[in-house]
Amino acid sequence: ILISGRGSNMRALFEATLPAKIVAVVSNNPTAPGLEYAREQDTETRVINHRDFADRNAFDAALASEVDSFAPDLVVLAGFMRILTEAFVLRFAGRILNIHPSLLPAFPGVNTHQRALDEGVRLHGCTVHFVTTALDHGPIVIQAAVPVLPEDDEKTLAARVLEQEHHIFPLAVRWFLDDRISLHDGKVRIDSTLHFPDAVISPNHLSPDDQS
Ligand code: GRF
């Protein structure tokens, strides 16, 4: 699991008792509060501080070899706030999942909640997607929507979305570990026997043929 800060999504993954071992938590930020929690779980932690590197390529190369040293089946970006280079993404192609706090493709990038408020959208939410070389545009696994209320500010809206992040991220990771999601022509195919919680909009790309 790669983190940069608080680590509440990482924590949701620890608490989900997944059919996998979380082999390591790696942060680019030495003071990320999430590192402490990971240590308390007796999980290996590593810091690869991006400030120690001359450029993005050098940082990513160091990050990739650290991640590789744990031979993970899946790399999970849980609030990891650095843009990854193509070299990193291709090295772990098809096995990097990210959580993004908007209903992609709306509001890629940062400050998603304030931008949603500024645009006056009535629905906002979060997305778990496979990471590709296109920032915040990888194939979508699952999304959860929340209403935007008239009295919302950035903080209240972020909290409502975060609650859903903690539901759908462990779900998506579990599906990956159970081989219940796969990539086909740049889209995610999901095992049709899966149950979708009410808040979840996905799978918008399942056709009757896919479900057979
Ligand atoms: C989450 O909103 C996540 O979607 C975004 O950054 C935030 C990280 O929060 N990428 P946390 O560190 O998981 O608490």
82 lines ligand 1 (CB under 6 A): no
pLDDT at residue 197, rounded to an integer: 64
Q: What is the CA radius of gyration of the chain?
A: 17
Mean pLDDT of 86-100: 96
Mean pLDDT of 81-97: 95
Q: What separation in angstroms does the CA of 80 have from each of 33, 159, 199?
A: 13, 18, 24
165 lines ligand 1 (CB under 6 A): yes
Mean pLDDT of 30-48: 98
170 lines ligand 1 (CB under 6 A): no
Which residues are known catalytic residues? 100
Decide if pLDDT at 205 tops 80: no
Query: What 3-state DSSP class applies to 209?
Result: helix
Give the separation between CA 37 and CA 57, rounded to whole angstroms: 29
Decide if pLDDT at 17 tops 90: no
Residue 77: which of 10, 162, 165, 158 has the closest Cα? Answer: 10
Decide if pLDDT at 3 tops 70: yes
Mean pLDDT of 73-95: 95
Give the separation between CA 38 and CA 32, rounded to whole angstroms: 11
Give the separation between CA 43 and CA 150, rounded to whole angstroms: 42
Closest atom of ligand 1 to 78 CA is 13
Decide if pLDDT at 208 tops 50: no
Residue 122: which of 92, 89, 149 has the closest Cα? Answer: 149
Rounded to 5 degrees, φ, ψ at 184 are -135, 120
Structure tokens at 124: 């906002």
- Residue whose CA is at the smallest distance from ligand 1 atom 6: 79
Distance in Å, CA 187 to ligand 1 centroid: 24
Decide if pLDDT at 186 tops 90: no
pLDDT at residue 184, rounded to an integer: 86
**Would you place residue 39 in the very low, low, confident or very high pLDDT band (cuts 50, 70, 90)?**
very high
Tell me the residue ranges of DSSP E strands in the chain. 2-3, 24-27, 44-47, 75-77, 96-100, 123-130, 140-147, 181-184, 187-190
Query: What 3-state DSSP class applies to 188?
Result: strand
Decide if pLDDT at 33 tops 80: yes
pLDDT at residue 19, rounded to an integer: 95
Please state the length of the chain.
212
Distance in Å, CA 159 to ligand 1 centroid: 11
Decide if pLDDT at 209 tops 90: no
pLDDT at residue 200, rounded to an integer: 65
Check: pTM over 0.75? Answer yes or no: yes
- Least confident residue range of 29-33, 148-152, 186-190: 186-190
